[in-house]
Amino acid sequence: MVAAKNYIAGEWVTDARGPEVRAPGNLDEVLGTVPLTTTAEVEAAVEAAARAQDGWRHLSGVERGNILFRAAAVLEAHVDELGALAAREMGKPIGEARAEAARAVSIFRYYAGEGSRAIGEVIPSANATTLQFTLRVPLGVVGIITPWNFPLAIPAWKMAPALAYGNTVVLKPAEWASLTAARIIELIGPLFPPGVVNLILGKGSVVGEALVRHPAVAGISFTGSGDTGQHIAQVAVERGAKYQLEMGGKNPVIVADDADLDRVVELTVSGAMRSAGQKCTATSRVIATRGIKPRLAEALVERVRQLKQGNPLDPDTYLGPVVSAAQEEKILAMIQKGRDEGARILAGGGRADVGLRGFYIAPTVFDDVDSRMTIAQEEIFGPVVAIQEAADIEDAIRIANGVRYGLSASVFTRDLKTALLFVDRIEAGMVRVNEETAGVELQAPFGGMKASSSHSREQGRAAIEFFTHTKTVAIRP
Ligand code: NDP
């Protein structure tokens, strides 16, 4: 049982205990408490980050990188523990959670290397004696607001580049991922000069809001829902802060008649059901051409029925609980809406009894889904997949593009022409051929089109675009 606190200027503060955290996979297990943080503490965290900024940005990139290498090593020594904590706190099966912890390690290591890579280019000047070049400088204090679905990787892929490029950070994790975030900071915080890394826990509507509104916060990097993202964007625009939003998806898998059926089934079920469908890149729609659709629907249902659902701490579990009562309610309401609007349930369709008190929803497959239905348009963020029929590939791409999101999309085909048509026409930031919609690589740019993101990219070298300003320098002797 952990009483999580805020970490400000290198000290653990806040004794005002707030709500209890219970394991979503076993509500009889109390994991700890999260503090009821006040806006005064947000103020203190931002001030600490602002005070630490000058010293941190004036270390060399190599020196900052060396600290990030040490952070990676400390996290690596605790991968099992972090994976188990994340699995307990937000319900992701332990195998996935451990892999996520290992990924957080790789992310820190990748950005540690950034400290010794080039941060600008020399550009010829019209004047022969002028040296013209670009430089990257940090934004200053960066507010990082993260969701609960990747409680280890998302804080890592925002904090590591922010720090590598010389920013100081205030992290506000999701309420449902507070204990995991607090443990990350407990492990790596002391490696940095006081104030470089700060953590504030508590309600997004109170402390997240105060962070976004704070005039000394120069940049906000956010992942979460579209509504919160849009609100943050408005506040940021009003006060001229830089912002980056990663929001939802309604990710389609297009299946052509010539697809390898076994591969489609395995990767579609993985994309839709791992993490109980709580990924922004989760497979949400399966759009199949007529020749393969009946066989595919049958095979998907058969595979879904074999999935082992249960305690996320059991290494054999494929599908755990969803994160909270609110998410459970939202997903069940969506399933009901699918029924009411005329879609046909082939598997699942309600709560699952796994012998534990928790938020378990049976893996659900809908057929006869029409593009006008809510379950074909809105993000569900649960273990639910909707099958739609298309006349041909062009029709499938049209259906796939007929939503407001554009994060990830896959096609399964053996035909290069079909693959290339898809790559050209699909409205998605992450475009996949014979791959699942989820599962992106940390060294490659990540982000979406349309309502899925604010059009910036995270991860890989793309992160430098958000976390720095460019200075164009011209020097004439
Ligand atoms: P939110 O967008 O509310 O939460 C994301 C983060 O924003 C959390 O840290 C939250 O804090 C914080 N936050 C909430 N309100 C504010 C605010 N006014 N100012 C600043 N920060 C704020 O998402 P939910 O957790 O409520 O999930 C709802 C839906 O969002 C899901 O069903 C799913 O559809 C989508 N979602 C998408 C994710 C993605 O990866 N793209 C991830 C998570 C959710 P707190 O937790 O304390 O409220």
Say if 447 falls within a structural domain. Answer: no
Ligand 1 centroid distance, CA of 262 (Å): 35
Supply the mean pLDDT for the chain: 97
Say if 54 falls within a structural domain. Answer: yes
Say if 75 falls within a structural domain. Answer: yes
pTM value > 0.85: yes
Per-residue model confidence as pLDDT tens digits over 78-106: 999 999 999 999 999 999 999 999 999 99
Q: Give the containing element (helix H, strand E) for 136.
A: strand 131-138
422 and 348: one domain? yes
User: Does pLDDT of 160 surpass 70?
Assistant: yes
371 and 423: one domain? yes
Ligand 1 centroid distance, CA of 191 (Å): 29
115 and 50: one domain? yes
pLDDT (mean) for 161-168? 98
Parent domain of 334: 251-441
261 and 118: one domain? no
Say if 139 falls within a structural domain. Answer: yes
Say if 24 falls within a structural domain. Answer: yes
136 and 228: one domain? yes
Tokens, residue 394 = 């062009």
160 and 51: one domain? yes
260 and 207: one domain? no
- Among 92, 207, 225, which residue has the most ligand 1 atoms within 8 Å of its CB, making it the best to mutate? 225
Per-residue model confidence as pLDDT tens digits over 322-381: 999 999 999 999 999 999 999 999 999 999 999 999 999 999 999 999 999 999 999 999
Task: Pick the atom of ligand 1 nearest to 229's CA.
Answer: 2
**What residues form DSSP beta bridges with 286?**
253, 387
Say if 446 falls within a structural domain. Answer: no
User: Does pLDDT of 18 surpass 90?
Assistant: no
Active site residue 246: yes
Write out the E strands in 247-373: 251-255, 283-289, 344-347, 364-367
Q: What is the pLDDT of residue 90?
A: 98
User: Does pLDDT of 1 surpass 90?
Assistant: no
Task: Pick the atom of ligand 1 nearest to 379's CA.
Answer: 34
**CATH code at 238?**
3.40.605.10
Q: What is the DSSP string of 67-120?
A: HHHHHHHHHHTTHHHHHHHHHHHH---HHHHHHHHHHHHHHHHHHHHHTTS---
264 and 368: one domain? yes
Q: What is the pLDDT of residue 15?
A: 67
Catalytic residue among 175, 280, 379, 436: 280
Q: In 3-state terms, what secondary structure has residue 161?
A: helix
Per-residue model confidence as pLDDT tens digits over 41-81: 999 999 999 999 999 999 999 999 999 999 999 999 999 99
Separation of alpha carbons 473 and 241, rounded Å: 23
139 and 225: one domain? yes
User: Does pLDDT of 181 surpass 70?
Assistant: yes
The number of domains in the chain is 2
238 or 14: whose pLDDT is higher?
238
User: Does pLDDT of 141 surpass 80?
Assistant: yes
Say if 91 falls within a structural domain. Answer: yes
Share of the chain above pLDDT 70, in %: 100
308 and 415: one domain? yes
194 and 182: one domain? yes
Q: What is the pLDDT of residue 64?
A: 98
Ligand 1 centroid distance, CA of 247 (Å): 9
Per-residue model confidence as pLDDT tens digits over 187-245: 999 999 999 999 999 999 999 999 999 999 999 999 999 999 999 999 999 999 999 99
Q: Quick check: 222 and 229 in contact, CB under 8 A?
A: yes
pLDDT (mean) for 98-117? 98
Say if 448 falls within a structural domain. Answer: no
Pocket of ligand 1 (CB under 6 A): 145-149, 172-175, 203-205, 208-209, 212, 223-225, 228, 231-232, 246-248, 280, 327, 330, 379, 381
**CATH code at 255?**
3.40.309.10
- Among 37, 145, 199, 203, which residue has the most ligand 1 atoms within 8 Å of its CB, making it the best to mutate? 145
Separation of alpha carbons 406 and 223, rounded Å: 15
User: Does pLDDT of 16 surpass 80?
Assistant: no
Ligand 1 centroid distance, CA of 164 (Å): 26
Which residues neighbour 371 within 8 Å (Cβ) at sequence distance 6 or greater?
377, 388, 399, 402
319 and 331: one domain? yes
CA distances to 138, 176, 251, 470 from 437, rounded to whole Å, are: 33, 25, 7, 33
Task: Pick the atom of ligand 1 nearest to 452's CA.
Answer: 41
